[in-house]
Amino acid sequence: MFSLRRRREKILPQKFLGEPMWDLLLHLFERTANDHPVSITKASYAAHVPPTTALRAISVMENEGYLVRTKPCANSRNVQLRLTDNAMEAMCSYLQSSDPPRLYTEALVHRIGGVGVA
């Protein structure tokens, strides 16, 4: 576990490795890889944190270029979250160097197959 954590630290910014940031990153990776954007509310549930805590983490991830907010239509108030291509590549790199659980393996295979990330 320590060696996996050290690999993770080499690939991703340190501030993304604590909770709830890591939980959000894992959830958004799986959802983005399968082309399913996530609402802020669902992201906060997935990370088991209050929406205000999730919003702070989401803002950091967005400012660092790891996350984008989109709206399904122009007049929608519903905001959807997706990881950026750079974030997806970083997560793919980390997961390829580890032994991820099946859910993330499937997301990784989907991402590699769909986009050609090595």
Could you give the number of structural domains in the chain?
A: 1
Report if residue 52 sits inside a domain.
yes
Q: How does DSSP assign the chain, residue by residue?
A: -HHHHHHHHHHS-GGGSSTTHHHHHHHHHHHHHTT--EEHHHHHHHHTS-HHHHHHHHHHHHHTTSEEEE-SSTT----EEEE-HHHHHHHHHHHHTS---HHHHHHHHHHHHHH---
Report if residue 58 sits inside a domain.
yes
Q: Comparing 47 with 42, which gets the higher pLDDT?
A: 42
CATH number of the domain at 10, please: 1.10.10.10
The whole-number pLDDT of residue 92 equals: 84
Report if residue 18 sits inside a domain.
yes
Report if residue 117 sits inside a domain.
no
Span 44-96, pLDDT tens digits: 988 888 889 899 999 999 999 999 998 877 777 788 999 999 999 998 888 77
The whole-number pLDDT of residue 64 equals: 93
Report if residue 113 sits inside a domain.
no
Report if residue 32 sits inside a domain.
yes
Report if residue 116 sits inside a domain.
no
Structural domain for 89, as ranges: 2-107
